[in-house]
Each structure stands twice: as structure tokens, then as C-alpha cells.
Amino acid sequence: MTTKLKKNISRDEAIEALWYKGRLHWKLDSNQKEMHKMCAENPNKIVVLGSSRQLGKSFFLVCYALEYCLQNKNSIVKFIAPQVKDIKRIIAPIVRDITSDCPEDIRPSYKTQEHIWRFSNGSEIQLAGTDNGHAESIRGNKANLCIIDEAGFCDDLDYIVNSILIPTTTMTGGKIIMASTPPKSLDHDFVRFMRQAQLNDAFIKKTIYDNPRLNLDDIKRIADALGGVESVDFRREYLVELITSEEDAIIPEFNPKTKINLIKTKNLPPFYDAYVSMDLGVRDLTVVLFAHYDFKTATVHIMDEIVMSGKELVTDALASRIKAKESQLWTNWQTGEEIKPALRVSDNNNLMLLNDLQIKHDLLFLPARKDGLDASINNARMLIKQGRLTIDPKCVTLINHLETGIWNRARTSFARSSDKGHFDAIHSLIYLLRHVDFARNPYPSDYKSNISNYHFRESISVANETKFESDLKGLIKKRNPFKKRF
């Protein structure tokens, strides 16, 4: 049997042949080839790459986009980065670097005004930034592949994916690939996409230790420059951990360790002062918090919350929900009498609404003290540090905002949150805590000497009352529990 020998070809001839086939895997390292396999073979609509810095993530994404266009004529790839300037500063140079050995007749040309790389087979890579609404430029038409680089730093990521990109891939069955290091705030949309991709088995995580171009000494130098392997920056940027820096956090005292003791359900004491605070959102969220102050333990307990936004926020609806919540939380279980809050406070961003609440609905909100944002926040931080604040698990928005809230870059105000708010629950919380009268004792002066005259339950709150307990009320006779029986 004779064996036909392959004709020997030069390296340049091999490179040319691979370009014409649209096969660029030979330009990737072993780490990037694993990313390629995930993106090419995973059946999910959205694939997420959690990537360390200096891993060659952007190089891989550009390579994958080029390869797709070469292999599929008349295809459209939408390539998105956080800012338009990133296209010129990062993406365009990578394209030129990768295509430096590409045959001239299939090499894409860049159309500067349109931000498009155009191929001779009719395919295009359309580039856009997410800053200042630039992503709207790639709205409409079809897309066979969508790539989002540095997704953790893109503005309005949820809107871009769901309102701009997914509709363009409906008819083509196109895939969306997003890659990034984790964002500073855990409230960024990318975190949600990361977690969902993990559940769908459509997530790949690559840390600095996966980088074949770096040795342990290189990694040590990088870690040392950032404060060591346990530093927040190294863990987030190079180990791809979801973590918020204490320097960026609005309330750094609220963290995974401390929240174990902060989040709990508490029963109403026999006597207490109730408080309501509100942060009114014009474009952001409106958050109303309901709390009571326990004089005996000197602690404030946030019992519940109301969160409204957009078209929901009309005076009648807001008033109805506030009254219903107050009635639910603070009604005397024996007499049926509603216990009025000691104080309601709010910012004054919407004076007309506050006026309507008072005149039409008998809900008086006094203007919150605004004698310094830092002072108000420091007050909240101290109370948390001292263990004098607890929060019911029902307050999911407040808990989320405390966990993920960060400052803007200038530290002049709060950054925006992924729920389209401004970490508004934190504003509502600091208003409340600034107005609690910690010195007022709500217990009657004769409380101990005439305890038989006061009928209350310390063990069961109204909100947690069972049907059995409700039925039992009518059977309970007034008596002195401390009187001797003979």
C-alpha cells in the first residue's frame, strides 16, 4: 500500500490558507481557545465570560468576530464597548494587529464615520459605545452575533441587551457574548447576567492564574502592587470575585459578616415609637421605610418598605399604600386602635405631592434634615457598627442598596443602581435615623407598678400573628399575671 505524502507548504502559505478558510484559532493561546469553545458550542442565547485583567479577553473577542464574518458572508456582528473612545483606543488597534497578515483581498476596511469594519463578502462588524446613548446607533436591522466587551462597565446594560440587541437576533438566532471583569458595584446589571449564566451553565471564569503568558513571579508582582492577594482590587480584577471595595461603598459597615446579625425579624416591644421616612424619586425610585424604636435595647428596627417608580407614583396610590402599611404594622391587637407614627419625614423633592398627602390624605411628612450628607451617612454607619440597627428580611430593596451602594467617582453623590434608582433606600434610611428621638422614653411612668393595667404581647408581633392567636384574643380575660392564686 502506498501512502500519498502531503505537499510541504511554507508558514506563509499555511497562514494564507487559514485566512481564506476563516480559521484564526492559531492566533489564540490555550486559555483563549477554551473561551472560543464555550462561545462556539454553548447552546444558550447569552454566554458570559468572567475574565481577569491582562488575559487577552479583548483580543479573543475581536478574533472571534473576525472569524465569524470571514466564515459567514453577509453577516452582521455588533461589537459594543463602554465608550466610543474605547473603539479607537482598544478595538481598532487589535483589529489591525490581527489582520496584519491577512490577504489583501479579504482584509476588512474601516469606515471611520460609520464605525464599521466591512468585509469583501458583505459582512460587517458594527462598533458602538454605550456612553451618552451611542448604542442606539446599532438599533434595528438584524444581527448574527453580538459581542459586549467590558460589559461590567457599560451603561444601561440591561436595556442594551433586552431592548437593542435581543430584538436584532430574534430572526437570525444570533448569540450574545459578553465578557468583563466584575464591576465595582454588585448592583450592576452585569452581575445579574453573570449569575444567570452560571445557572444556565453558560458561564466561564478565567483568573490571572489561567493566563499562560504569566508565571507566578509575574502574578506576585501584580498582586503586591495592588496590596497583596487578599486586597479587594486584586480579588475583583484578577480573581474575578464579586466584591465591593470599602473605599467605594456608601455603608462599608454593612458587609457579609455584619449583615448576619443585622437582618432579622423582631417583635414589637410593649411600648415604642413608630417612624416613617420617605425618599421621593422624580426620575428615580421612591422608597418609604417603616420602623420602630425600642427604647429598652436602644435599637431601631426597620420593619418594612414600600418601593414605587415611574407611572406607579401617583399621590392616591402612594397614600393608600402608606396607610395600609401603617395599619398592618401598628394596630393595637386588643383595642383595634391604630397607633400613629411619632414622626414622618421626607425629602422635599416634590412639594406638590407632599402637600397633597397632607391635605387630601391627612399624611403629614415633615422635611428631613439635610445638614450634611456625610454627617447623615456617618450617623447611620455608627449605628450599624454599634449594633443598634436591625432590618427585617422583607426589606429587600434596602438590603440590596446597603450591600451594593457605591459613591460616584467624585464622591459627591451616590452612583446609579441597576434598578434605575440612585440607591434611594439609603437616602430614606439616613433621613429616618437622623430623626429618631433616642432620648424619649415611651414607657408610662407607672409601667412597673401597674403592669396589670397594660395588656400586650411581647412574644408575637401583629405582622406575624397566626389565625389561632387571632381567635384566642376573644377568650383571654384581663387579669394580673403576677397575682398569687390560692
SS3 per residue for the chain: CCCCCCCCCCHHHHHHHHHHHCCCHHHCCHHHHHHHHHHHHCCCCEEEEEECCCCCHHHHHHHHHHHHHHHCCCCEEEEEECCHHHHHHHHHHHHHHHHHHCCHHHCCEEECCCCEEECCCCCEEEEEECHHHHHHHHCCCCCCEEEEECHHHCCCHHHHHHHHHHHHHCCCCCEEEEEECCCCCCCCHHHHHHHHHHHCCCEEEECHHHCCCCCHHHHHHHHHHCCCCCCHHHHHHCCCCCCCCCCCECCCCCCCCCHHHHECCCCCCCCCEEEEEEECCCCCCEEEEEEEEECCCCEEEEEEEEEECHHHCCHHHHHHHHHHHHHHHCECCCCCCECCCCEEEECCCCHHHHHHHHHHHCCCCEECCCCCHHHHHHHHHHHHHCCCEEECCCCHHHHHHHHHCEECCCCCCECCCCCCCCCHHHHHHHHHHHHCCCCCCCCCCCCCCCHHHCCCCCCCCHHHCCHHHHHHHHHCCCCCCCCCCC
Residue 456 lies inside a defined structural domain of this protein: no
- Does 334 share its domain with 430? yes
The total number of structural domains that make up the chain: 2
pLDDT given for residue 480 in this prediction: 39
| Domain assignment present for 476 | no
pLDDT of residue 383: 96
36 plus 80 within the same structural domain? yes
Phi (first) and psi of residue 278, to 5 degrees:
-145, 135
Are 299 and 431 found together in one domain? yes
Task: Tell whether 353 is covered by a domain.
Answer: yes
Residue 162: CB partners within 8 Å, gap ≥ 6? none
Asked if residue 350 and residue 315 are part of one domain, the reply reads yes
Q: What is the pLDDT of residue 350?
A: 82
Do 320 and 355 share a domain, yes or no? yes
CATH code (residue 301):
3.30.420.280
Instruction: Tell me: do 28 and 168 sit in the same domain.
Output: yes
In-domain check, residue 463 = no
Angle at 29 between CA 28 and CA 31, to 5 degrees: 115
Q: How far apart are CA 473 and CA 468, in angstroms?
A: 9
What pLDDT, on the 0 to 100 scale, is given for residue 486?
A: 29
Residue pair 180/50 in contact (Cβ under 8 Å)? The answer is yes
In terms of domains, do 341 and 265 share one?
Answer: yes
Distance CA 337, CA 157 (A): 48
Q: Answer yes or no: do 296 and 381 share one domain.
A: yes
Question: 284 with 423, same domain?
Answer: yes
The answer as to whether 457 is a domain residue is no
| Whole-number pLDDT of residue 437 | 96
> Do 133 and 96 belong together in one domain?
yes
Q: What is the CATH number of the domain that holds 109?
A: 3.40.50.300
Chunked mean pLDDT (size 10), the chain, 486 residues: 60 92 93 94 95 93 96 94 81 90 93 88 91 75 93 90 92 94 86 87 94 94 93 91 82 88 93 95 88 96 92 89 96 79 91 92 91 89 95 94 84 76 91 95 79 48 43 41 34
Whether residue 60 is contained in a domain is answered as yes
Q: 395: domain range?
A: 259-435
Residue 59 lies in a domain: yes
Predicted pLDDT of residue 281: 83
Confidence at residue 91, expressed as pLDDT on a 0 to 100 scale:
84
> Quick one: 164 and 220 in the same domain?
yes
Domain for residue 81, yes or no? Answer: yes
Quick one: 304 and 403 in the same domain? yes
